[in-house]
Amino acid sequence: MNTESEAEPSEPVSVFIDSRSGGPSPSTGEGAVRREDVAVRRGELAVLKGAGASVVYEMAVRCFLELGRPAVLVDGGCQADPYEVAAIAKRMGRDESGEKGDGHRMKRADVDEVLRNIHVARAFTAHQMEALIVERLGPMVERVRPAFVGVLSLDALFRDEQLDRYEARIMQARCTRTLRRLARDAGIMVAATEGGTGRWGAMRWW
């Protein structure tokens, strides 16, 4: 089901996302579409503050189309949407040459194949999220051998008002440390989205 190509990117994988601006802009007008460039480097964890799930979807699809290797998504916010992933795959697959001028080419997107190669694990509580990332994600990466791991809404479940705040912070810190270590030890790209009111797509590197 999964390809076993050993090709690795020699530079960051960049994605260009169309996102609706939050309000009127003097230069672009109300409701204008702006293009954002988000790059994720192999061996590092990128935390994307305020970014939508589509950023992670596009990274996962691009890694499969360019490298022929699967992706793993951990969903902490009930966001995983196969229909949106399929739409992104169709759009990106139409541009077989990619957006690089250095000889890299993307394979034509077979939507069913793309969906089969994006493995999703969902968590519905903070304790499930911690267990997924700290205990189960490492063995899954060894078995699946993905090029990319994406975490949707890393912080959402740890903001549950029924959780002790100190405990929640410790649990989330364990998840972040695990993701950072996994990116480094497995030599893969890892990106996580978090809620926030800052600039869309602002990144922290770990």
Q: Read off the pLDDT of residues 110-145 as tens digits, 9 standing for 90 and up.
A: 889 999 999 999 999 999 999 999 999 999 999 999
Phi, psi of 21, rounded to the nearest 5 degrees: -70, 155
pLDDT at 20: 37
Residue type, 71: A
Could you give the CA distance from residue 18 to residue 31 in angstroms, rounded to a whole number?
Answer: 12
Of 5-19, 89-103, 158-172, the range with the lowest mean pLDDT is: 5-19
Residue, of 33 and 46, whose pLDDT is higher = 46
> Which band of pLDDT confidence, cut at 50, 70 and 90, is reported for residue 204?
very low
The CATH architecture annotation of domain 13-205 reads: 3-Layer(aba) Sandwich (3.40)
Q: How far from 71 is each of 21, 125, 144, 165, 171, CA to CA, in Å?
A: 28, 23, 8, 32, 24
% of the chain at pLDDT higher than 70: 68
Residue type, 162: Q
Q: Measured between alpha carbons, how far is 203 from 95 in angstroms, rounded to an integer?
A: 27
pLDDT in tens, 37-92: 667 788 999 998 888 888 899 999 988 988 889 999 999 988 889 999 999 988 88
Q: Which residues pair with 33 in a beta bridge?
A: 20
Question: In the prediction, which pLDDT does 51 show?
Answer: 83
CB burial of 98-125 (b: ≥16 within 10 Å; e: otherwise) equals: beeeeeeebeebebeebbebbbbbbbee
The domains of the chain are located at: 13-205
Amino acid sitting at position 168 = A
The average confidence (pLDDT) of the chain is: 76
Q: What is the dihedral angle through the alpha carbons of 156, 54, 72, 147, rounded to the nearest 10 degrees?
A: -130
Tell me which residue has tokens 């691009």: 62
Give the per-residue pLDDT at 41: 85
